[in-house]
Structure 1
Amino acid sequence: MLQAKLNNGKLITLFEFSKQEIEVLRSDHVFFCPVCKGKVIIKSGSKIIPHFAHQNRKNCQTHEGGEGVYHEQGKIMLYQWLIKQGLDVALEQYISSIKQRCDIFLRVGKKKIALEYQCARIPINEIQKRTGSYLSVGIQPIWILGATNLKRTTKHSFKVDQFLLQFLHQFQDQSFPVLYFFDPHSKLFTIIGNVFQIGKRRMIGNFIIKKLDSMIFLDMFKTSVDSRELFLTEWRKAKYQYRMYQPKKLYGTELSWYNWLYYKGTHREFLPSIIYLPISSQYKMLTSLGDWQSRICLEFIDPIPIGAVFSLNSCHFQFRKSISTDSFPLVQPSADPIMEYLHLLAALGIIEQVSEHEFRKSKNLHHYSHIEDALKGDEELLKELLNIFETKYEHDS
């Protein structure tokens, strides 16, 4: 821990002192944990950030992190960054009602915020528990990941797994999820906004990278930038790869899907262009974009005549085993990928929403018989999508 108390209750933040001052403190004072009141000792040296450690940890309700120098450096830099902005900030604040200590606690107006700087990979259930506890007492948690967790693959894409998905933030006034990263070595803060999952282990988004000292806290929530490049590069590439993909061997759910397409008398290459569209809440689906979107189109929309109605509830029932039951407490409000897809089809004029849970077919789906026509159709649809998403991005900005 970076802070401890003296006998008189004064709080000491160790990194604020020089080496000589620390040695004086060590010889002249006894220090106590702010949480359990147990004795703590100073740990300092040439290769570690000065901090306090329990003489006996087993009775303390909080833990000391153990994430190392990288974590401590980042936490200190973020704390000092917020202090310079004149914000009401506390380091390593212990919240007794939920028995948790957050890295940084701050108040912005009437909002209470717990800022967690997470570098180590911890169990997903622990992330969910800590996040849920904050929310239960009216504190908004914001998780900033150590940059060592970011595996960038191209200008707009990065690798993702279930651990990383737990840190997707989506606030009430945002239409797209966002991720935060900070590297104390380079002092670079990375915001990945307007995030979409395009594969089981791959996401795309707009990267905003700034020196920490060149931004303010509120900049963390300004994630909308020009979406044109994102769609004209990464999504175009992803759609092309999806259309042209030829697996060498089929197994599992992919084999089942190919068999289902064969039963339907079609193939991936000839599917309507409205299949495999970008859905910001795809992370909630256990099946791939192309799989579940093709089933909605070919099971619910394609067979019925223009003017006929189908229900959202029937779609939910069909995919009841395909929607993850995992909690994503940082996503507000709760996302519904099926409803999001149906709304996108409505924006494209394929269907029309006639009530809260019902949609009417407006157009017949266009199937292809030649790959050249399919690729041309995909390109035309991309232009329509670009107009739709640019409107959404402008709304978020």
Structure 2
Amino acid sequence: MLFVALSADGRTVSLAGAERWEREGLMRLKRQEPFFCPACRQEVVLRSGRYRLPHFAHRKGAACPVEHEPESERHLTGKRDLFAWLIRQGMEAKLEPYLPAIKQRPDILFRHGPHLYALEYQCSTIDESLFRERNDGYRLLGIRPLWVLGAHHLRRSPKYSGEVQLSRFQWLFAHRAPHSVVPHIWYYSPETKRFIRLFRPLPLSVQRTFAAVDSIPLSSFSFPDWMAPCPLPLSPTFWERWLERKKQWRRTFPLYPNQTVRRICADFYQAGIVPSLFPTEAGWPVPRGYLWETAPFIWQTYVLLFLLGKTGRPATAVSLFQWLDDKIRTGRLVPRRLPLVGRDTYREAVGEYLHWLSLLGYLRREEGDQLHLVKPLSFPSTVDQMIHQDAALLEQIHQTSALSCYWSTLEFGRVEKMSRKQEKMNGMVNNNSCIDYLYKEE
């Protein structure tokens, strides 16, 4: 379904806002002449009704190269709302422009400052390969892709405050504001006319994560606000909930083993660790923990197993990453790859965890990037003892002054400026020649 089509003589006809037209006017336009899709040039039909927004639609059986999934009324309304939102801010914006160089049609193309943006409002689920293909196409033209999910995708936990469920599909939409290290996901609800911002995700598993979430009226929000780093705090009960999750990991992890869990448990047993009694020092949040799909207690225990195996012998970060890469190849560990976050990998999360261990006095890093475990890890003999140790370590964390800067990064979103080199790596280089698409006559 489209808001924009071509007339027989090549003029652009837009139905954005046409719901305010008189019905007779729409019928007159419908009878006046045929209309054509700007992408495939096949004839489209003007449709309108009492409960549906006026739009153009391909005839049954037509094959358009840029229509990959059906559009819903929610998508049409949201697309119209976001276009009007940009226009009200004085943006030079175009609705549904066809970009022949990449054979793509973003929902909205607009310019802000020197940069050109493609805004996509995604209501249906699409394959990751198609998502990446669209992003790559925009970046090829120097266009910055911006994605907004339909708010119906967001699932909050009815039981745990501050916990949400994010599918692998939703994780694809995680991106960072310029100069921020922490990702966020944007949603929009055309029913309530509000943006929903999910910020600072701290994953517990493949799909469950703690996050800060807020809701913002479209009418009181601007695009510069969108691009600014967000200092949303975590839930006041975050640490209490995190300890509850650690307790749940200890009591349920080995109970429902699939093949991967059996392999992980075998590795733990081989190292002399009962899976439910993984070290107290494992299973803690780090700012870039979202770069792992694997639960924090598992990948952090593997880091500790490597360091324990090197007791009395030199270990380096390079050898640690080689060891973790082997666990990834065998399916024991799974990194999360986020196409909009740049080139950060799971190694950034591991580096933060090593830094955390060093601040607590467990790890010493020496010249030549050597790693030495210099403080014994905690291995109580029962789950109840381990749960007590978890709470005690959290108390130590809060009372350790050297950790104040570290936790301020996690809790208050310390801003880190991205270098121009990193921006280029992220495919965010401006290309003024693409601005012509804003003025191109169809």
Q: Please tell me the TM-score bracket, short chain as reference.
A: 0.7 to 0.9
Report the Cα distance in structure 1 between the residues aligned to 2:165 and 2:368, rounded to whole angstroms. 36
The corresponding residue for 2:408 is: 390
Q: Is the 8 A contact 2:175 2:341 kept in 1?
A: yes
Q: Is the 8 A contact 2:150 2:187 kept in 1?
A: yes
Aligned length: 395
Report the Cα distance in structure 1 between the residues aligned to 2:407 and 2:344, rounded to whole angstroms. 20
What value does the CA root-mean-square deviation take over the aligned residues?
Answer: 2.9
Report the Cα distance in structure 2 between the residues aligned to 1:43 and 1:271, rounded to whole angstroms. 61
Q: Does residue 156 of structure 1 match 2:157?
A: no
Secondary structure at 1:294 match in 2: helix
What TM-score, normalized by structure 2, do the two folds share?
0.79
Q: CA deviation at 1:223?
A: 2.8
Mark the runs of 5 or more structure 2 residues left unpaired by the alignment. Answer: 417-442
Q: Is the 8 A contact 1:275 1:293 kept in 2?
A: yes
Q: Does residue 90 of structure 1 match 2:109?
A: no
Secondary structure at 2:245 match in 1: helix
Secondary structure at 1:266 match in 2: coil
Report the Cα distance in structure 2 between the residues aligned to 1:24 and 1:255, rounded to whole angstroms. 68
Q: Is the 8 A contact 2:69 2:124 kept in 1?
A: no
Report the Cα distance in structure 1 between the residues aligned to 2:222 and 2:88, rounded to whole angstroms. 10
Secondary structure at 1:223 match in 2: coil
Segment of structure 1 superposing worse, 73-82 or 214-223: 214-223
The corresponding residue for 2:278 is: 271
Q: CA deviation at 1:32?
A: 3.0
Q: CA deviation at 1:293?
A: 1.4
Segment of structure 1 superposing worse, 278-287 or 109-118: 278-287
Q: Does residue 145 of structure 1 match 2:145?
A: no
Change (3 A) 1:358 1:9: farther
Q: CA deviation at 1:25?
A: 1.6
The corresponding residue for 1:189 is: 195
The corresponding residue for 1:334 is: 344
Q: Is the 8 A contact 2:186 2:195 kept in 1?
A: yes
> Residue type of the partner of 1:368?
P
Q: Is the 8 A contact 2:154 2:164 kept in 1?
A: yes
- 1:106-145 aligned at under 5 Å gives the runs 106-145=110-149
Secondary structure at 2:156 match in 1: coil
Report the Cα distance in structure 1 between the residues aligned to 2:48 and 2:39, rounded to whole angstroms. 21
Change (3 A) 1:394 1:192: closer
- 1:162-173 aligned at under 5 Å gives the runs 162-171=168-177, 173=179
Match of 2:206 among 167, 176, 200: 200
The corresponding residue for 1:52 is: 56
Cα-to-partner distance string for 1:179-205 (whole Å, 9 max, x where unaligned): 111111122211110002102321110
Q: CA deviation at 1:56?
A: 8.1
Identity within the alignment, %: 26
Q: CA deviation at 1:57?
A: 7.2
Secondary structure at 2:236 match in 1: helix
Secondary structure at 2:212 match in 1: strand
Q: Does residue 212 of structure 1 match 2:230?
A: no
The corresponding residue for 2:4 is: 3
The corresponding residue for 2:321 is: 316
Change (3 A) 1:86 1:299: same
Question: Runs (4+) of structure 1 moved beyond 6 Å?
Answer: none
Report the Cα distance in structure 1 between the residues aligned to 2:4 and 2:299, rounded to whole angstroms. 51
Mark the runs of 5 or more structure 1 residues left unpaired by the alignment. Answer: none
Q: CA deviation at 1:110?
A: 1.4
Q: Does residue 344 of structure 1 match 2:356?
A: yes
The structure showing larger relative contact order (alpha-carbon pairs under 8 Å, at least 6 residues apart) is 2
Report the Cα distance in structure 1 between the residues aligned to 2:384 and 2:335, rounded to whole angstroms. 40
Cα-to-partner distance string for 1:32-83 (whole Å, 9 max, x where unaligned): 3333444332111123221112358756442275221011111111111111
Secondary structure at 2:155 match in 1: coil
